[in-house]
Amino acid sequence: MGTNTLNNITAPNLISVDDVNQYFTSNTGDFYPRNASSGAIEDSAHSLGSAATQWKNIYSNNIIINGTLFDPDASGAGIDATNAIVSGATRTGSGQPDFLRASGAGASMTILATTTNLAITANTTSIVVASDIAVSSLTVAPAANNTCLVNDTQLAGAASTKYTGEHESDPISIDTVGTEISDRIGEYICLKGTAEYMLAYVEDATTLRHIKRGYFFDSSGAPIVREVKSNNDTLTIMSLGWVFMDADGVTVDVTYTSPIYNTTEPSSPVTDDYWFDLVSRLWKRYDGAAYQEVDRIPVGLVVVDGTNAVATRSFDFTRAFSDISSIEIEVESVTKARSNAGKNVISVYAQTNTYNAAPLDWDITTDLESGLTEAASTTYYLYITEQGAPKIATERPYDRLSDLKGYYHPYHSWRYVGDVYNNSVSNIIYSSNNSFEKSGAIVKIREQIASGVTSVDFGVTDLNARFSKYLVKMESVVTASATDITLRIGIAGVIKSDAQYRYSTQETADSGSTTGLANSSTNNIADTKFIISATSVGRGLVTNDADASLGGSIELHDIHNTARYTNIEWKTTHENAIVTHRAIGGGVYGSSAGNTNPIDTIRILATTGNISGKFTLYGWN
């Protein structure tokens, strides 16, 4: 509400336009307590309701009591309410914090607070910043000894390289490292590729870890997205500033060394280093002589190149985030995925959404993120907004398990729940359930039930760049006559049947069998296919032999790598009334000079006649 004093109108005075408009002014904006007699606003007066007449519900993002953010779940969720970003400007379409803006022209930035106020609590002091704050004279990036090269021969510009470094087990190796980078071991830095800015921790002189690819927003507030990487790509260090907001509502300090969180005072500090004392729960700044307590908190990052502030990232609001989610995804139609249960609950950016009436749908014709159009041969990621609405996006989520308790859209406060693959004719053909939640999670891609077919194929849309490793599970496989079961691979969709299959296999049969290759082995065979189960035992896999069947698995490793062979391994068990016959083998496709083409198709078939059974393809990284 407005802060104007309300005037009392008494008879026989005429009511003027100003008399009426004073109520419009007072009833817009913030809501203030007022003196019952004078109509003027006053502090610490009046109540909302009473003990006898209470309000039923209060809906609010935050509650501040005696100047401190209150959160009923704070103790259980590890929330530090004494140091909090309470609220501020957000991106259009979500609650993603967006209150820092690089100028793009000059070494300056702005804290946005005029249109939407920025509320913080720093060392128990809470304030509201109501006007934009300009921050100038930012430190620019170094001009020399400021680059390194990506050192990974497996990186060759494939789509999957946009995510290289984001998993803890997948750092980026670097070489030809300038001293401006090697001198920052143990700190976070910002590195620029061609257009992308990434946040990375310098683990040692040759390793970057804890990487957030495409982490920043440009001077217009648009995200600067991930880009592909290749071996020997140049990365250039930027100036990375940690922006601290003071509880006086005016002072902004930017430090260019990573703040330290520790129970003990850091050694060898330099002026303007910040330390969060985990014992006192207070921020402290080194003034050149000692660490001094300051009523400040970090609110985000600013990136400066050799001349201009080019990017920012606002830190997240302080919330009691939760990992609650009961949603699992299944394909409903060629345009739609849905939750596989009618009742679901999920917490998104500390907002709990419950669905009781029906499954939740993600429809690619209506739920695509703004600015996207449907594309074929594309993996789409499924999200839920804070308000519970479904969203479909092409941006892969960030791992935010350590702070937001889930995986989230890199540029919105939407929680990831699964993904789907839209094939070459724009049909959704498989879904996975939150496959990033567990490292190395195995995702079911497609299942085929074959009945008397010439072959079972998994093609380009199945063996897409989403995964580096694949497994085919085979169950109850039978053939029309005694015959070998073979595997062929395809390159660029073309099945190869030339004599370039090199493999070794060992076959064993139970003792007592009267036929077969019991305990035999073959080494380095050159053939026109891989034989994954031979039939030189018993009666083979004949459909009129009711007790005969084959089961097993085929693993394909690193199939998109163009720098080396693809490793293929198989294990099969063939059973009938006479004998149990097992085969274990592995091999590669290619000449002695080597074949570096990525595999994108596999075919399972019988040497003679048709094949039947259940074949399921899985993928993982």
User: What's the distance, Cα to Cα, between the start and end of the chain in Å?
Assistant: 55
- Strands 260-262 and 274-277, bridge-based pairing: parallel
State the DSSP code for 376.
S
pLDDT at 522: 58
Average pLDDT along the chain: 84
**How many angstroms separate the CA atoms of 313 and 101, rounded?**
8
Is-contact 166 436, C-beta < 8 A? no
Q: Return d(Cα 66, Cα 543) in angstroms, integer.
A: 79
Query: Is residue 366 predicted with pLDDT exceeding 80?
Result: yes
User: What is the reported pLDDT for 514?
Assistant: 37
Least confident of 210-219, 361-370, 429-438, 605-614: 429-438
Q: Which pLDDT score is estimated for 590?
A: 72
CA-CA distance, 299 to 318, in Å (whole number)? 11
Residue 534, Cβ density class (10 Å: 0-12 exposed, 13-18 middle, ≥19 buried): buried
- Select the more confidently predicted residue: 428 or 116: 116
Tens of pLDDT, residue by residue over 48-101, are 776 667 676 666 655 665 555 554 444 334 456 789 999 999 999 999 999 999
Cβ neighbors of 400 (< 8 A, separation 6 or more) are 406, 407, 408
CB within 8 Å of 109: residues ≥ 6 apart: 100, 101, 102, 103, 134, 135, 138, 243, 302, 309, 312
Q: In what order do the strands lie in the sheet with 84-87?
A: 84-87, 118-122, 125-129
Going by DSSP bridges, is the β-strand pair 485-491/601-606 parallel, antiparallel, or unpaired? antiparallel
Of 185 and 420, more confident = 185
| Rounded Cα distance, 82 and 318, in Å | 10
The answer to which of 355-364, 397-406, 434-443 has the lowest mean pLDDT is 434-443
Give pLDDT, residue 521. 53
Bridge partners of residue 472, in order along the sequence: 554, 617
Helix (H) or strand (E) holding 22: helix 17-26
Structure-model confidence comparison of residues 369 and 587, the more confident one? 369
pTM, to two decimals: 0.71
Q: Given this model, what pLDDT does residue 576 score?
A: 63
* Pairwise CA distance, residues 95 & 389, whole Å: 13
Q: Which residue has the tokens 């304030």?
A: 127
Q: Could you give phi then psi for residue 19, rounded to 5 degrees?
A: -60, -40
- Residues contacting residue 94 through CB under 8 Å, at least 6 positions apart: 385, 386, 409, 412, 413, 414
pLDDT of residue 60: 63
> Which of 351, 339, 341, 355 is CA-nearest to residue 405?
351
